Amino acid sequence: MGLEMGIVLEVCVDTAEGLAQAVAGGADRIELCAALALGGLTPSAGLVGLAAGCGVPVVAMIRPRAGDFVWSQAEVGMMVAEIVAMQAAGLAGVVLGASLPDGRLDLPVLRRLVDVAPGMELVLHRCIDLVPDMGAALEQAVDLGFHRILTAGGETTAEAGAARIGALVSQAAGRITVMPGSGVNPRNAALLKGLGITQIHASCSASTPVTGRVVEMGFASAVQRQTHSDAVRALAKALE
């Protein structure tokens, strides 16, 4: 849907049902994660295998834990192994990020990760929203060979960061794709489309209450979010 209308719609999912709903709704691409409530972690091998045959391109989040993006040597080793596994599974790309303690991009770590992903689509995730100078980080991402940047313009939502996203699109000048994400919905799609974007990222999900012993026993949170095909269709229509 989105591809036909000029805006590629990427939908992030973290479950088998979310994957099925995103594909049914017409997502152009899937970002595959675990634990979207934590911003997305590396998905399981089983979910990766399922997604590999879903019929649309899939990029996988590579993030071994929640929290910041300052990685230990052991964690970098884990990420390298995860990238190799995603490539072996036939996924289209990987979503990466690494920060220094002051928020700047960790260029040596990012180079190491990029080097083990030849031929894959490379996406710099929202660690860029923590950098002190987003313009400088964009130039670093271009130099590293990234194809896309996922960003909310340094804010908690893409709508709040729209002005900076627009500035980044202008600065990128086609050298790298600036893809808005966080809080994207049909209501603000026109605003974001007006920034000159060519791709957009959303969960197309709704909150669902969870009750019973699974919550009482700590096996689930009281509220969970689930991607719905109707929400995917609605966002794609708003992007027409």
Q: Convert the pLDDT of each residue in 67-121 to its tens digit.
A: 999 999 999 999 999 999 999 999 999 999 999 999 999 999 999 999 999 999 9
pLDDT for 128 equals: 98
Range 8-238 has CATH code 3.40.50.300:
no
Mean pLDDT (the chain) is 94
Residue 166: is its pLDDT beyond 80?
yes
Residue ranges in 67-206 assigned as alpha helix (H): 73-89, 107-115, 134-144, 162-172, 189-193
Residue 175: is its pLDDT beyond 70?
yes
Six-digit token pair at 181? 């994400």
Give strand pairing partners of 223.
Answer: 209
Domain residue limits, the chain: 8-238
pLDDT one-digit tens code per residue, 193-221 = 999 999 999 999 988 887 888 878 888 78
pLDDT for 213 equals: 86
Q: Are strands 205-209 and 199-202 parallel, antiparallel or unpaired?
A: unpaired
pLDDT for 78 equals: 98
Please check whether residue 76 is in contact with residue 50, taking contact to mean a CB–CB distance below 8 angstroms: no
Six-digit token pair at 29? 């691409």
Residue 4: is its pLDDT beyond 60?
no
* pTM to 2 decimal places: 0.93
Q: Left (φ > 0), alpha (ψ -120 to 50) or beta: where does 89 sit?
A: alpha
Percent of the residues in the chain that have a pLDDT greater than 90, as a whole number: 88
